[in-house]
Amino acid sequence: MQVLVNRLSGLPSESTEGVTVIKLPEPTLRLPREKPIPKAKPQTKWEAYAQLKGIQKKKKGRMLWDNESKQYKPRWGYGRKDETKSWLLEVPENADPNEDQFAKKIAEKKERVAKNELKRLRNIARVTKAKVPGVGLTPTDKPSKDHLGKTLAVTHKSTASLGKFMDTLPKEKLRLGKKRKFESNYTDDRERQKKILKGIADGTPVLDVNRAANIAKHREERERSMAKKSGDGEKKKAGAKGKKGGKKSFSGKPSGKPKKTFAGKTKKSFSGKKGGGGGGAKKGRK
Amino acid sequence: MRPLTEEETKTFFEKLSKYIGDSIALLLDRQDGAYCFRLHKERVYYISEELMKKAGNIAGENLLSFGTCFGKFTRKDRKFMLHVTALDYLAPYAKYKVWLKPSAEQQFLYGHNVVKSGLGRITEGTSDHQGVIVYSMNDMPLGFGLAAKSTEACRHADPMMVVLHHQADIGEYIRNENALV
């Protein structure tokens, strides 16, 4: 309310015959929008890349100066300067003199248009998450044996009846690619898996060098601390050791007989990995 | 649904053996019936053969899940990632364990790494990059991860040093519910 009064007092007012009349601002009428706000167009692959790299679009002028006709001509579309329509074309220095430069220009243009169309379709496919159409087998200058085989298989199938009535040579094998093959679902594959498991186990070294080094280091430290302790004062040895076990969480040895546990540990580690460190450690702790 | 190929089995077992070592054989040979691993939609399931045969009747695209999901193969590199759902089968056979102090439990269950100050106990002889199962102090499995430091190095680490890299924890049952099967 107070806010409203404050706003009113700020507005222009005039007083006539002792009555103050405030001039209210013009009312605005907001009509709801009929159609939803159009969605942003999905980015094409190039647009996304350009944004990532910070490439700015450069505006090209619509008209180009043509030096021959001495006038501006559109860059594209009706009335543009068309190279293929000119009466003369220069043959590049290293080019084959018998090559038709006009045909070459037209073929290049056609290829560019086709490439653009393919890119457009792929962009749509990418956005709609449809399968991106492959280009299939493209012609190459030096096809490999594999490539030729594939081409043969494709052409064999490229008839109206999908190659149903095509004849094959006696020993001809048409193969597009290898078909994936998996084991049957209902076979017992445990023996096979055990074999693989054995292979993995054989690969791992019996002597865990890292662990052995760790244990050696640990023993060294232990001995050093023991020597230090015994040097300090020869009061109640066992009792002091037990209480000072600040590293309970790591060493976790019962205060009674440290040496014995220790010997056991070392042996285990060298004899193999099967010791089950977890179980052993737990036992020591509890 | 299909059995794993040779290569898949190998990557899968190699990952699994980081946590339970040779005990994988115990998963394959069980007293209480035949169990098997099956691949379905890039995920590996551990299931009794009987149930697997029943699940086989359902069309692949309609089949959501069966048995226990152990994890999945990544699309690009075909590496295997263990999921927390495998914890029930990893915990009993764990080779290397880490116990967390009650104060550090929550941090771990929220998906964070474990720092030295939160470490209660650790199995002797754990090397770094070793797969370890994480327990609470009263021996409840909480998840698993990779040891960032060996037991020896842990001893000298300062309290804020990361000693265990988080991989999976049971908090994911709430956090990541729709991704688990």
Tokens of A90: 């220069």
Contacts of A197 (CB under 8 A, 6+ apart): B13, B17, B22, B24, B25, B28
* Domain ranges (residues) in chain B: 6-89, 94-175
pLDDT confidence band for A271 (50 / 70 / 90): very low
* Amino acid A198: pLDDT: 85
d(CA B164, CA B127): 11
SS3 A134: coil
The answer to whether the beta carbons of residues B126 and A277 sit under 8 Å apart is: yes
* Amino acid B25: pLDDT: 87
Higher pLDDT, A235 or B126: B126
Q: What is the pLDDT of residues B48-82, one digit of tens each?
A: 989 999 998 999 889 999 999 999 999 888 999 99
The answer to whether the beta carbons of residues A89 and A101 sit under 8 Å apart is: yes
Judge: B9–A193 Cβ closer than 8 Å, yes or no.
Answer: yes
Closest by Cα among B118, B179, B109 to B144: B109
- Max Cα distance, chain A (Å): 117
Residue B126, Cα to own-chain centre: how many angstroms?
17
CA distances from B124 to A179, A258, B50 (A): 50, 14, 40
Q: What is the mean pLDDT of residues A103-131?
A: 91
d(CA A230, CA A121): 83
Q: Of B25, B52, B151, which has the smallest distance from its Cβ to A214's Cβ?
A: B151
pLDDT for residue A210 is more than 80: no
> Cα A65–A66–A70 angle (5° rounding)?
100
Higher pLDDT, A270 or B89: B89
Q: What is the pLDDT of residues A50-70, one digit of tens each?
A: 999 999 999 999 999 998 889
Residue written as token pair 């080094």? A213
Closest by Cα among B93, B169, B107, B105 to B137: B105
Interface test with A, best of B124, B139, B154 (most A CBs within 10 A): B124
* Amino acid A45: pLDDT: 93
Q: What is the mean pLDDT of residues A111-118?
A: 93
| DSSP character string of A62-98 | SEEEETTTTEEEESSSTT---GGGSS--PPPTTS-TT
Contacts of B153 (CB under 8 A, 6+ apart): B128
Report which residue type is found at A107.
A
A161 close to B (CB below 8 A):
no
Closest by Cα among B150, B22, B151 to A206: B22
**The CATH fold of domain B94-175:** 2.30.130
pLDDT for residue A282 is more than 50: no
d(CA B11, CA A167): 45
Q: Min CA distance, A273 vs chain B (Å)?
A: 9
Among positive and negative, which fits the CA dihedral B54, B56, B62, B66? Answer: positive
Tokens of B156: 């000298």
Q: Of A190, A201, A247, which has the smallest distance from its Cβ to B155's Cβ?
A: A247
pLDDT confidence band for A284 (50 / 70 / 90): very low
Q: What is the pLDDT of residues A145-185, one digit of tens each?
A: 888 888 888 888 889 998 889 888 888 877 777 777 888 88
Among positive and negative, which fits the CA dihedral B131, B137, B143, B145? Answer: negative
- B6-89 and B94-175: identical CATH topology: no
Residue A218, Cα to own-chain centre: how many angstroms?
44
d(CA B139, CA A42): 52
Q: What is the mean pLDDT of chain A?
A: 78
* Amino acid A116: pLDDT: 95
* Amino acid B116: pLDDT: 92
DSSP summary character for residue B125: T
**The CATH fold of domain B6-89:** Nuclear Transport Factor 2; Chain: A, (3.10.450)
Give percent of chain A with pLDDT exceeding 70.
77
Higher pLDDT, A157 or A271: A157
pLDDT confidence band for A234 (50 / 70 / 90): low
* Amino acid B30: pLDDT: 87
* Amino acid B87: pLDDT: 92
Judge: B95–A276 Cβ closer than 8 Å, yes or no.
Answer: yes
Residue written as token pair 């519910």? B177
Residue written as token pair 């695209």? B61
pLDDT for residue A72 is more than 90: yes
Residues of B with CB under 8 A from a CB of A: 1-6, 9-10, 13-14, 17, 21-22, 24-25, 28-29, 34, 36-38, 49, 52-53, 56, 94-97, 119-128, 150-152, 154-155
Burial of B82 per CB tally in 10 Å (0-12, 13-18, 19+): buried
Report which residue type is found at A95.
A
Which residues, given as ranges, of chain B have pLDDT below 50? none
Strands (DSSP E) contained in B74-174 are 80-82, 97-100, 114-115, 119-122, 131-136, 141-147, 162-169
Report which residue type is found at A25.
P
Contacts of B116 (CB under 8 A, 6+ apart): B154, B157, B158, B159, B160, B161, B162, B163
* Amino acid A235: pLDDT: 52
* Amino acid A37: pLDDT: 93
A207 close to B (CB below 8 A):
no
The answer to whether the beta carbons of residues A44 and A118 sit under 8 Å apart is: no
